[in-house]
A and B are shown apart, each in its own frame.
Chain A
């Protein structure tokens, strides 16, 4: 029996057809592969990179803020926390998962946790194990916050998971010594704001808030999935105005990750954060503290300026708040307490006050420049009031015969009613405008009162749609009525007058080489200027401002009292030394106590005295060398 052997002929037309089809398909396949390999390589490698790489942005420490002598007003302190590197725990998570799964295996299938739940349980269990180690070392009793942990895993897996935050130095030391160097638990340092002087200059320095979206600043590829650690940004004060300078350069790292999102190696690319620039302010913390100490428990503002340069030495507003309470964050109760006390308001630049009798300096200047007042010749007999029309305008006392010098010394309203009316409202307003009472000072602080104004016929018509009366002029000439200014504006007026000029541009930045300011001259003859100066000097020596008198210091001063609604305002302005003016001061205190009549002589003078005393003591001793601070 013969075997039937199947044979093929390579020339079989049917096979040739298959050869053709197979060759065509293979060619198509090769072409497709070649197309993808040769022409689409970039696209696929880019997709692979985006899928496998993650970018992490670290915040940068902010720059420090110093006072004019180099003392740190706002610094950074280290904040120690313990973090857990979850990427190192993948094996433990898997082992724990199997263990937990076995434990639940005896349960009914319907009641068993699903995959996600088992994963969360096992993860929390492993993390709690590490937390227990910390609890043992530190004598604490902390429990893992499962919700927070799950959120961390799903949203910020590449960032270290913070187990314990803001450790005390002793705790940090114990952990340094007891945690193995290779442990997944590591001590992590970040920076937080530190205020060595607590509440001093709180409104001026300002505070920071959390910034959830710190800038990456050209680090890595912006297309990569990015995790950003929380940064900070200035919310008020200098922290806000100079936020850009104070912010440093963000650090960052690019990691390769596995499909679960855990980093698998050292960073592919890395940049360390760089601290922001420092700021040297013109504040003098010694004078600032002296002013604030004298203002404790009261409501008001105090400003002191360097007369020659316009640099702000003191900017104190009460009530205030301790900036350290903002670290790490202000509690709701603390915020409410500040709100209740009225502490949010920076009264030095936001307080809107009628200037009271401090305005008499401007009335005198306007009167002398217009010729309405002649030193020595212009006199009134003060019976304790002046009748304007049929309305009686009161004076604080019966001063008898009063000339300009005496009028300033005893703050005689009758004299200024009379010569204010003679000068005229338009000239009074124009003089006030020359001293900068009609516009903000432009100091480097946010939220300055933007519409200060001096009452005048035009202003009253435009804003109140009422005609101007002689009584309005009388009120304006003694700083009452609708004129509203800030304490900083008044301080600028004092500094300008002390220099014999009309405007002072205040600044909070210190420059040891800053040239003296020079603006338009005051436009008074020397005899006229000296008459006002004599009145101010007498006021300081034995007039209404005598309670501010500092032994051995010749100064010029003027008190004032005004009303804003039902609140009495106690004002005082001063500059010293009179022979070579260097420091100008303006203080206003709000009468918060019922049944107490607020006068500048009693309530503002002690604060002026405190500032002058501190200034005198400091100017008589050797200049301080810059000092550093310790974080206890």
Chain B
């Protein structure tokens, strides 16, 4: 019979042994376990998302008919605007195609647009990422750009059967080649250390010295398209301040990101038609 003191310590001993054993488990087993765990967990996340959706649905049903009619009118107006924009886009696409043919330029990377609901958001200091409700079942690849109406959301870092994890533009591990609007020289954008409930921000580096931005006269930062992952011209944010680097070669500064990144419910994944482009 073990003395009482040892009995009390038994759970810790067991935990220690398990952790020690885990250290020596082959990497393949660990990866498999992690993936399995995520797949098992995924329905819960998705279900939770559906419940939230249902909750929103029922709360919307509480609105009066007058409110719904008013909202419908606004939506009709928006649809008309979007129809017009679509027509304009078609004309511009045709013009771009004509110029590409004229100049014998290689075609821009083509994407398939895959809208997806956001299942879970995690904006803690370490994990700036979100889970979306589409994965391998919709052909979403790792590395695919994710956007919303305000610009870049992030990049797909993990793909599971029914879900995918998106590394957000606010994450310190997210980096892309950008350009200041109206300029063609690439600069580096990287997510910053963003605290919860604060305005999302990022860092811009290697900015040429003749580009200026202040809090009152911001400069729009857009994707360069040179990196081969994101198409050009997508909004990243606004550069709010720039200061010269110590070596005097470049400037570096802060980028104010879209506040809506914290409350996204729907995003679009840009799935390249040629997967080798990722």
Contact = CB atoms under 8 A, between A and B. Distances in A.
A binds B: yes
Interface of A: 60-61, 76, 78, 169-170, 172-174, 176-178, 180-182, 187, 189, 191, 248, 251, 272-275, 628-631
A338 B152 CA distance: 52
Which interface residue of B188, B230, B250 has the most chain A CB atoms within 10 A? B188
A250 to B, nearest CB: 11
A273 B185 contact: no
Interface stretch (B30-38, B99-107, B128-136, B203-211): B203-211
Contacts of A630: 185, 208, 210
B249 A173 contact: no
Given A177-B229, A628-B209, A61 B247 contact: yes
A170 B226 contact: yes
Given A172-B186, A176-B175, A76 B228 contact: no
A629 B174 CA distance: 31
Interface in B183-230: 185-186, 188, 190, 206, 208-210, 224, 226-230
Contact of B210 (A76, A176, A628): A628
A217 to B, nearest CB: 15
Contacts of A178: 227-229
Nearest to A278: B248
Given A177-B228, A178-B228, A630-B208, A273 B186 contact: no
A482 to B, nearest CB: 51
Contact of A176 (B173, B186, B246, B247): B186
25 contacts: A61-B247, A78-B206, A78-B249, A169-B186, A170-B226, A173-B186, A174-B177, A174-B227, A174-B228, A176-B175, A176-B227, A177-B227, A177-B229, A177-B230, A178-B228, A180-B173, A181-B174, A181-B190, A189-B250, A191-B247, A191-B249, A272-B246, A272-B247, A628-B210, A629-B210
Contacts of B247: 60-61, 191, 251, 272-275
A176 B248 contact: no
Nearest to A180: B173
B249 A189 contact: yes
Contacts of A180: 173
B227 A173 contact: yes
A178 B188 CA distance: 12
Contacts, number: 76
Nearest to B171: A181
B172 interface: yes
Contacts of B190: 181
Given A76-B249, A628-B209, A181 B186 contact: no
Nearest to B186: A173
Given A76-B249, A78-B206, A191-B247, A173 B172 contact: no
B166 interface: no
B227 A631 contact: no
A189 B205 CA distance: 11
Given A177-B176, A630-B185, A275 B248 contact: yes
A631 B185 contact: yes
Contacts of A172: 177, 186
A70 to B, nearest CB: 13
A628 B244 CA distance: 15
Given A78-B206, A178-B229, A630-B210, 10 more contacts: A78-B249, A170-B186, A173-B226, A174-B226, A177-B228, A178-B228, A181-B173, A181-B190, A182-B173, A274-B246
Interface string B238-278: 00000000111110000000000000000000000000000
A170 B228 CA distance: 9
A132 B230 CA distance: 23
A169 B228 contact: no
A78 B227 contact: no
Given A78-B249, A177-B177, A191-B249, A169 B172 contact: no
B26 to A, nearest CB: 15
B227 A273 contact: no
A265 to B, nearest CB: 20
Most A CB within 10 A of own CB, among B174, B228, B230, B248: B248
A251 B176 CA distance: 28
Nearest to A79: B249
Contacts of B185: 169, 630-631
A118 B246 CA distance: 42
A293 to B, nearest CB: 27
Contact of A78 (B172, B224, B250): B250
B226 A169 contact: yes
A62 B192 CA distance: 31
A173 B250 contact: no
A178 B185 CA distance: 18
B206 to A, nearest CB: 7
B168 to A, nearest CB: 14
A493 B250 CA distance: 45
A191 B245 CA distance: 13
A174 B226 CA distance: 6
A316 to B, nearest CB: 28
Contacts of A170: 186, 226
B145 to A, nearest CB: 10
B177 A176 contact: yes
Contacts of B224: 173
A573 B208 CA distance: 43
Contacts of A181: 172-175, 190
A224 B248 CA distance: 28
A380 B190 CA distance: 84
Contacts of B210: 628-630
A224 B188 CA distance: 35
A629 B185 CA distance: 13
Q: Which of A178, A187, A274 has the most CB of B within 10 A?
A: A178
A2 B230 CA distance: 98
A631 B187 CA distance: 13
A628 B207 CA distance: 14
Interface centre among B173, B206, B250, by most chain A C-beta atoms within 10 angstroms, is B206
Contacts of A275: 247-249
Contacts of B227: 173-174, 176-178
B216 to A, nearest CB: 21
Contacts of B250: 78, 189
B152 to A, nearest CB: 12
A628 B190 CA distance: 27
B177 A273 contact: no
A61 B209 CA distance: 14
Contacts of B228: 174, 177-178
Nearest to A191: B249
B126 to A, nearest CB: 13
A178 B58 CA distance: 43
A253 to B, nearest CB: 13
Contacts of A176: 175-177, 186, 188, 227
